[in-house]
Amino acid sequence: MTDRPVALITGASRGIGLAVARRLAPTHDLLLGGRDADALSRATDLPNATPWPVELTDDRALADATAALSRLDLLVHSAGLAELGTLVGTTADTWRRTLELNVVAVAELTRLTLPLLRAANGHVVLVNSGAGLRANPGWGAYAASKFALRAYADVLRAEEPGLRVTSIHPGRVDTDMQRGIRAQEAGDYEPDRYLTADSVAKAVLAAVEADEDAHVTEVVLRPRPR
């Protein structure tokens, strides 16, 4: 690590998280968070990148991993899961898995790193979803988690005025996660109709690089018809 600002990105082994890491690499030292240590190792071709393998829903492992940090300027929450289904077909286990990763792990990681973020007058970016603004049939558990994540960001922003807190709400994005979603929907995968992960990463970068007098609180991205 150098004297450059330090960014911790969850879900950094692929998709939006990896795209964000690539956009931040020229200006930040990177901690690449994810549960798959092998996948993270393959992403360390980025300059000044260090794998940060941890199971985010394991409270003890998360506490141990964050205790080793000495500086944090930027925290990007990109990890998440989406399990679709009607409300009547969504089991308690699905609700728990979804909320544990999409909400509880976000809250706990932020809580554990708040002293470092406060010291840096830092920035928290939460990669949310269009489902955090509008809930559709079949998306109950996921949308509920993303509405909760939006509320969490709003409260964090109000309670921690020294921090910048940004919610990013993209529409469908060309990622492995989207492939899984389309498989659950039994629909065709049409990447030309989706945002690229890099488009979302550029929105994150714009929020991070905003002038000191500017606080980008919410960004909504939708694919342009093509």
Please report, for the chain, the start and end positions of each structural domain, with discontinuous segments joined by +.
6-221
**pTM score of the predicted model:** 0.95
| Residues 199-220: b if buried by 16+ CB within 10 A, e if exposed | bbbebbbebbeeeeeeebebbe
Q: What residues act catalytically?
A: 142
Domain 6-221 CATH assignment equals 3.40.190.10? no
Span 33-91, pLDDT tens digits: 998 777 777 766 788 899 999 999 999 999 999 999 999 999 999 999 999 999 999 99
Mean pLDDT by 10 residues, the chain (226 residues): 89 94 96 85 80 96 97 97 96 98 98 98 98 96 98 98 98 91 92 95 98 97 89
